[in-house]
């Protein structure tokens, strides 16, 4: 299928649009969770939403996206409250609290789901798409719901931006300014719950947590500013949603949800490796450079101290001597050519090196400030 | 009870105990969610094993899956070491990737075999008795039961042999290292065992019940005791109770067995959360209430003591005055006075004036000197 034909396909256009909006919304809002070290809250909330979805269906008999999403939101919210109650009131730590809420709520959802399936009415079919997500069946009305709820969450985030920032970085300071930080916490949690439940039917319970964590974790590598991080995370989420949807529709038997997650993971990997300043590759390069610099400095110091033992400063010193002084700490040869490049050392004859006058000057400036008295004597003799 | 039902119950109980043993240390080491990560990512191991071996019943699959579990642990730790992401984010990044690859592989290459994501995530205990373990033609019961019994024995043996090391590395990793134990070695051995347990259990009950059974019972036991050995025993008991109650629930409602067991375990935890003897909400509330009254009574004693034999004594010892001086609501002040009279801290001297008893004076003096 060529590119024009690809985007002429109405179904694909809907799915791609929905996935992109979803990626952007969950990326932007999820980065707040990442900053607050609540990455796994997403995992818990998405599992905890299941009983809400089934109950919403049981109570209303409707399978409209909005109804189910609201049910999911209420259950996700209750799950979050349960985690908070456990952590605040007992010595059970957050990870165990999350694990319990996640598995017990999900278990309750399963019980309800299997109960619904025993009902004579066959209209419940399709509820389990929330488990694994079925992006391919996304309709325009689903996209509308995703876009509407996503914008509500984003607008809420922008309205409370300053307070959310305080919550993420300095809660105590916020409280001392007279802001009700508990209320901001509730606001932020609600936003995150909203971000998660709108994605459930697209990517499913298990993979939704990746949609929340990955864009934020990737964006964090590219910037130290929160505004930019949220924007970049939204961008990454949109790119992954779009490319995942397109990929899975062009390649046969490639489920959409997992494909989106793999696209996201590729973005995370690239960010971890290559992001400027923080990236692993740059870090290695930087460490390597520093190490070489240190070695060159050490050889400079050695040449200088050797020069101090000879009246004739142009006397060459053999590489062997320099290597011996380095005691196996890397080759002196490379450091010497680095010094020559800067014009601080020259080769008097093959294999013998000495400092140039400017190298002498440099070494004196660097090493003589705290030099020991007998070295001063040596200089005076000269 | 008919044979298959009994077998299902037996499998569930063995799984519960086998999960609870390592679960205790997961909870204590704040690594509870590693069970979630492992139980999802082993899907990839099972798929890969299946693609290589081509036989869904092969024991190699269990090994491959357990290896993926260990790979998950290693990846999470590598990611942590870069310090580029926080620990929680590291877990949240690793397992969805492995799970996604597993799901895609199933969709592409294994779509037509009995290996669907539903069964993996949700578990179907109902089908567990169908696969039999036969030796020399004799039917020895469900295969899963035997697998889990072996895993349970492994866990128990590991716990027995490495109890001291586990205890030390869990509660004081620094001291353990200083004494010459290798926390890393114990850690990886332990995590391998968690993986093996998760694989065996997940085959039988699904990944979500694995999480419920590994975390729920130990967390419940954690609220009930301060002793490690008691906690391990209690976890096993809670696991068994949860499994049995869950099974009853599921047959009453005709609903998912795994889901019902998770709910039953959740109810056990909720019960402990509310009613645990020392740490339960009810006990804590009651203790706070008692402390509140005791504190008020002591305040009253100190107040009277401070003004005794001073000129304002007449005024300060009036019951009506407490409201003003100690800023107590009148009804509250009245109740404190009544209690103090009951406990012999004060006595009524004419009308509305209060006088400390010698016991009350002693209380006040002790409270002041302990400040």
> B23 near B235, Cβ under 8 Å?
yes
C-alpha A51 chain-centroid distance: 30
Plot region of B351 (φ>0 → left; ψ -120 to 50 → alpha; else → beta): left
Instruction: Name the residue facing B96 among A92, A207, A255 (closest C-beta).
Output: A207
**How many angstroms separate the CA atoms of A344 and B189, rounded?**
55
Q: Among B116, B133, B155, which Cα is nearest to B16's? A: B155
**How many angstroms separate the CA atoms of A214 and A248, rounded?**
20
The pLDDT-based confidence of A69 (bands split at 50, 70, 90) is: confident
Chain B residues near residue A272 by CB distance under 8 angstroms: 79, 82, 84-85
| Residue of A99, A202, A222, A248 best to disrupt the B interface, most CBs of B under 10 A | A99
The pLDDT-based confidence of A78 (bands split at 50, 70, 90) is: very high
**How many angstroms separate the CA atoms of B137 and B322, rounded?**
88
Q: Please count the other Cβ atoms lying within 10 Å of the Cβ belonging to residue A297.
A: 16
Please classify residue A117 by burial: count the beta carbons closer than 10 Å to its beta carbon, then call 0-12 exposed, 13-18 middle and 19+ buried.
middle
Chain B residues near residue A98 by CB distance under 8 angstroms: 32-33
Q: How far is B124 from chain A (nearest CA, A)?
A: 12
Q: What is the mean pLDDT of residues A107-128?
A: 76
Report helix angle A39-60 to A10-35, nearest 10: 130
**How many angstroms separate the CA atoms of A274 and A258, rounded?**
24
Which pLDDT belongs to residue B273?
A: 94
List the beta bridge partners of residue A318: A352
> B36 near A102, Cβ under 8 Å?
yes
Q: Which residues have C-beta within 8 Å of that of residue A211, sequence separation ≥ 6?
A: A22, A23, A26, A27, A30, A42, A199, A203, A237, A260, A261, A264
pLDDT in tens, A345-372: 888 878 788 888 888 888 888 877 655 5
**How many angstroms separate the CA atoms of B87 and B5, rounded?**
42
Report helix angle A161-169 to A140-159, nearest 10: 70
Residue A184 predicted with pLDDT over 80 = yes
Q: What are the backbone dihedrals phi and psi of residue A278, each rounded to the nearest 5 degrees, phi first?
A: -95, -25
Q: Which residues have C-beta within 8 Å of that of residue B156, sequence separation ≥ 6?
A: B21
Q: Among A32, A38, A42, which Cα is nearest to A226's? A: A32
Residue A324 predicted with pLDDT over 80 = no
**How many angstroms separate the CA atoms of A188 and A169, rounded?**
14
Cross-chain Cβ contact B92/A212 below 8 Å:
yes
Q: What is the ipTM of this complex?
A: 0.86
**How many angstroms separate the CA atoms of A234 and A229, rounded?**
9
Which pLDDT belongs to residue B336?
A: 86
Which pLDDT belongs to residue B114?
A: 54
| Closest residue, chain B, to A269 (C-alpha) | B93
Q: How far is B36 from chain A (nearest CA, A)?
A: 7
Residue A376 predicted with pLDDT over 70 = no
pTM over 0.90: no
Which pLDDT belongs to residue B118?
A: 58
Q: Among A68, A61, A235, which Cα is nearest to A141's? A: A68
Instruction: Name the residue facing B215 among A47, A100, A106 (closest C-beta).
Output: A100
Chain A residues near residue B279 by CB distance under 8 angstroms: 90-91
List the beta bridge partners of residue A352: A318, A349
Please classify residue A145 by burial: count the beta carbons closer than 10 Å to its beta carbon, then call 0-12 exposed, 13-18 middle and 19+ buried.
buried
pLDDT in tens, A288-303: 989 888 888 888 888 8
Which pLDDT belongs to residue B1?
A: 44
Q: Which residues have C-beta within 8 Å of that of residue B51, sequence separation ≥ 6?
A: B105, B109, B110
| Closest residue, chain B, to A215 (C-alpha) | B93
The pLDDT-based confidence of A328 (bands split at 50, 70, 90) is: low
Cross-chain Cβ contact A99/B35 below 8 Å:
yes
> A15 near A138, Cβ under 8 Å?
yes
Give B 201-230 residues with CB within 8 A of chain A: 208-209, 211-212, 214-216, 218-219, 222-223
Which pLDDT belongs to residue B323?
A: 76
Q: Pairing between strand B132-135 and B138-142?
A: antiparallel
User: What percentage of chain A exceeds 90 in pLDDT?
Assistant: 27
Cross-chain Cβ contact A272/B121 below 8 Å:
no
| Residue of A87, A110, A128 best to disrupt the B interface, most CBs of B under 10 A | A110
Which pLDDT belongs to residue B117?
A: 57
Cross-chain Cβ contact A255/B30 below 8 Å:
no
C-alpha B278 chain-centroid distance: 16
Q: Which residue has the higher pLDDT, B138 or A63?
A: A63
**Total residues found in chain A within this entry:** 382
Ranges A188-197, A198-207, B9-18, B209-218: which has the least confidence: A198-207
Cross-chain Cβ contact A103/B104 below 8 Å:
no
Residue A6 predicted with pLDDT over 70 = no
Cross-chain Cβ contact A111/B263 below 8 Å:
yes
**Average pLDDT in chain A:** 84
Q: What is the mean pLDDT of residues A144-164?
A: 90
Is B258 at the interface with chain A, CB within 8 A?
yes
Residue A381 predicted with pLDDT over 70 = no
**How many angstroms separate the CA atoms of A321 and A308, rounded?**
15
Q: How far is B178 from chain A (nearest CA, A)?
A: 27
C-alpha A222 chain-centroid distance: 9
Which pLDDT belongs to residue B239?
A: 95
The pLDDT-based confidence of A337 (bands split at 50, 70, 90) is: confident
List the beta bridge partners of residue A345: A355
> B326 near B320, Cβ under 8 Å?
no
Chain A residues near residue B36 by CB distance under 8 angstroms: 43, 99, 102-103
Q: What is the pLDDT along chain B (371 residues), one digit of tens a residue?
A: 457 788 888 989 999 999 999 999 999 998 899 998 998 888 898 888 888 887 766 778 888 888 999 999 999 989 988 888 887 888 989 999 999 998 888 888 766 555 555 555 566 666 667 677 776 677 777 888 888 899 999 999 999 998 988 888 888 888 888 888 777 888 888 999 999 998 888 777 778 889 999 999 999 999 999 999 999 999 999 999 999 999 999 888 888 888 999 999 999 999 999 998 888 889 989 999 999 988 888 888 888 888 877 777 777 777 777 777 778 888 888 888 888 888 888 888 777 788 888 888 888 888 888 87
Which pLDDT belongs to residue A7?
A: 60
Please classify residue B161 by burial: count the beta carbons closer than 10 Å to its beta carbon, then call 0-12 exposed, 13-18 middle and 19+ buried.
exposed
Cross-chain Cβ contact B121/A86 below 8 Å:
no
**How many angstroms separate the CA atoms of A167 and A164, rounded?**
5
Q: Among A188, A218, A186, A228, which Cα is nearest to A29's? A: A188
Q: Which residues have C-beta within 8 Å of that of residue B228, sequence separation ≥ 6?
A: B24, B28, B167
Q: Pairing between strand B138-142 and B346-349?
A: unpaired
**How many angstroms separate the CA atoms of A180 and A171, rounded?**
10
**How many angstroms separate the CA atoms of B284 and B287, rounded?**
5
Cross-chain Cβ contact A131/B259 below 8 Å:
no
Q: How far is B320 from chain A (nearest CA, A)?
A: 36
**How many angstroms separate the CA atoms of A80 and B209, rounded?**
20
- Write out chain B in H/E/C secondary structure: CCHHHHHHHHHHHHHHHHHHHHHHHHHHCCCHHHHHHHHHHHHHHHHHHHHHHCCCCCHHHHHHHHHHHHHHHHHHHHHHHCCCCCHHHHHHHHHHHHHHHHHHHHHHHCCCCCCCHHHHHHCCHHHHHHCEEEECCEEEEEHHHHHHHHHHHHHHHHHHHHHHHHHHHHHCHHHHHHCCCCHHHHHHHHHHHHHHHHHHHHHHHCHHHHHHHHHHHHHHHHCCCCCHHHHHHHHHHHHHHHHHHHHHHHHHHCCCHHHHHHHHHHHHHHHHHHHCCCCCHHHHHHHHHHHHHHHHHHHHHHHHHHHCCCCCHHHHCEHHHHHHHCCCCHHHHHHHHHHHHHCCCEEEECCCEEEECHHHHHHHHHHHHCC
**How many angstroms separate the CA atoms of A40 and A93, rounded?**
13
Is B122 at the interface with chain A, CB within 8 A?
yes
Q: What is the mean pLDDT of residues A47-69?
A: 88
Q: How far is A71 from chain B (nearest CA, A)?
A: 19
Instruction: Name the residue facing A255 among B27, B107, B249 (closest C-beta).
Output: B107
Q: Which residues have C-beta within 8 Å of that of residue A43, sequence separation ≥ 6?
A: A98, A102, A208, A209, B33, B36, B92
Q: How many interchain CB pairs under 8 A, A with B? A: 210
What counts of helices (H) and strands (E) characterise chain A?
Answer: 18, 3
Q: What are the backbone dihedrals phi and psi of residue A29, each rounded to the nearest 5 degrees, phi first?
A: -75, -35
Residue A271 predicted with pLDDT over 50 = yes
Instruction: Name the residue facing B103 among A95, A105, A255 (closest C-beta).
Output: A255
Q: Which residues have C-beta within 8 Å of that of residue B52, sequence separation ≥ 6?
A: B60, B64
Q: How far is A103 from chain B (nearest CA, A)?
A: 5
pLDDT in tens, A23-37: 999 999 999 888 888
Which pLDDT belongs to residue A346?
A: 83
Q: Please count the other Cβ atoms lying within 10 Å of the Cβ belonging to residue A305.
A: 15
Q: Pairing between strand A352-355 and A345-349?
A: antiparallel
Q: How far is A42 from chain B (nearest CA, A)?
A: 9
């Amino acid at each position: 299928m060529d590119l024009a034909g690809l985007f002429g396909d109405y179904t694909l256009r809907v799915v791609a649009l929905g996935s992109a909006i979803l990626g952007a919304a969950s990326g932007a809002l999820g980065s707040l969770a990442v900053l607050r070290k609540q990455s796994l809250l997403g995992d818990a909330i998405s599992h905890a939403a299941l009983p809400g979805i089934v109950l919403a269906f049981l109570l209303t008999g409707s399978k409209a996206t909005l109804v189910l999403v609201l049910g999911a939101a209420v259950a996700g919210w209750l799950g979050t409250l349960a985690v908070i109650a456990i952590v605040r009131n007992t010595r059970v730590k957050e990870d165990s609290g999350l694990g319990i809420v996640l598995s017990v709520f999900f278990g309750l959802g399963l019980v309800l789901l299997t109960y619904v399936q025993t009902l004579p009415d066959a209209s419940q079919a399709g509820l389990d798409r929330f488990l694994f997500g079925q992006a391919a069946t996304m309709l325009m009305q689903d996209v509308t719901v995703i876009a509407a709820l996503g914008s509500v969450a984003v607008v809420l985030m922008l309205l409370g931006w300053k307070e959310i920032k305080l919550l993420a970085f300095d809660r105590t300071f916020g409280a001392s300014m007279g802001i009700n930080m508990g209320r901001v916490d509730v606001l932020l949690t609600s936003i995150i719950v909203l971000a998660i439940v709108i994605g459930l039917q697209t990517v499913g319970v298990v993979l939704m947590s990746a949609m929340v964590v990955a864009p934020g974790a990737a964006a964090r590598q590219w910037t130290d500013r929160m505004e930019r991080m949220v924007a970049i995370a939204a961008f990454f989420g949109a790119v992954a949603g779009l490319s995942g949807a397109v990929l899975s529709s062009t390649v046969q038997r490639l489920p959409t949800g997992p494909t989106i997650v793999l696209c996201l993971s590729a973005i995370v990997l690239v960010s971890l490796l290559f992001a400027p300043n923080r990236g692993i590759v740059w870090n290695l390069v930087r460490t390597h450079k520093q190490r070489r610099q240190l070695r060159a400095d050490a050889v400079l110091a050695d040449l200088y101290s050797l020069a101090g033992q000879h009246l004739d400063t142009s006397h060459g010193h053999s590489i062997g001597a320099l290597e011996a002084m380095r005691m196996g700490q890397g080759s002196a040869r490379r450091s010497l050519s680095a010094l020559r490049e800067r014009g601080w050392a020259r080769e008097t004859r093959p294999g013998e090196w000495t400092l140039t006058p400017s190298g002498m000057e440099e070494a004196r400036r660097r090493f003589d400030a705290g030099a020991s008295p007998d070295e001063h004597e040596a200089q005076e003799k000269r | 009870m008919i044979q298959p039902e009994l077998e299902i119950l037996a499998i569930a109980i063995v799984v519960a105990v086998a999960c609870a043993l390592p679960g205790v240390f997961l909870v204590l080491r704040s690594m509870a969610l590693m069970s979630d990560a492992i139980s999802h990512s082993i899907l990839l191991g099972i798929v890969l094993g299946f693609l290589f071996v081509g036989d869904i019943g092969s024991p190699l699959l269990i090994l491959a899956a357990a290896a993926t579990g260990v790979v998950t642990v290693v990846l999470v730790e590598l990611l942590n070491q870069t310090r580029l992401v926080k620990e929680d984010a590291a877990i949240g990044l690793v397992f969805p990737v492995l799970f996604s690859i597993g799901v895609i592989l199933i969709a592409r290459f294994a779509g037509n075999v009995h290996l669907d994501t539903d069964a993996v995530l949700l578990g179907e205990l109902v089908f567990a008795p169908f696969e039999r373990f036969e030796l020399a033609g004799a039917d020895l019961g469900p295969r899963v039961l035997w697998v889990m019994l072996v895993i349970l024995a492994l866990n128990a043996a590991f716990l027995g042999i490495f109890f001291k090391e586990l205890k030390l590395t869990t509660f004081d990793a620094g001291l353990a290292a200083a004494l010459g134990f290798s926390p890393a070695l114990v850690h990886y051995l332990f995590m391998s065992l968690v993986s093996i347990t998760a694989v065996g259990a997940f085959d039988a009950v699904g990944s979500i019940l694995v999480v419920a059974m590994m975390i729920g019972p130990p967390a419940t036991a954690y609220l009930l005791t301060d002793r490690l050995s008691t906690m391990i025993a209690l976890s096993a008991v809670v696991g068994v109770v949860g499994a049995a109650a869950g099974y009853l629930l599921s047959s009453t409602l005709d609903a998912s067995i795994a889901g019902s067991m998770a709910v039953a375990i959740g109810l056990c935890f909720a019960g402990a959360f509310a009613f645990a003897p020392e740490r339960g909400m009810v006990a804590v509330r009651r203790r706070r209430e008692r402390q509140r009254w005791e504190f008020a009574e002591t305040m009253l004693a100190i107040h009277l003591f401070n003004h005794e034999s001073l000129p304002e004594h007449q005024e300060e010892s009036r019951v009506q005055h407490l409201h003003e001086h100690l800023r107590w609501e009148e009804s509250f002040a009245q109740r404190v006075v009544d209690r103090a009279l009951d406990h012999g801290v004060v006595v009524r001297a004419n009308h509305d004036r209060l006088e400390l008893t010698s016991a009350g004076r002693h209380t006040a003096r002790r409270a002041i000197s302990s400040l």
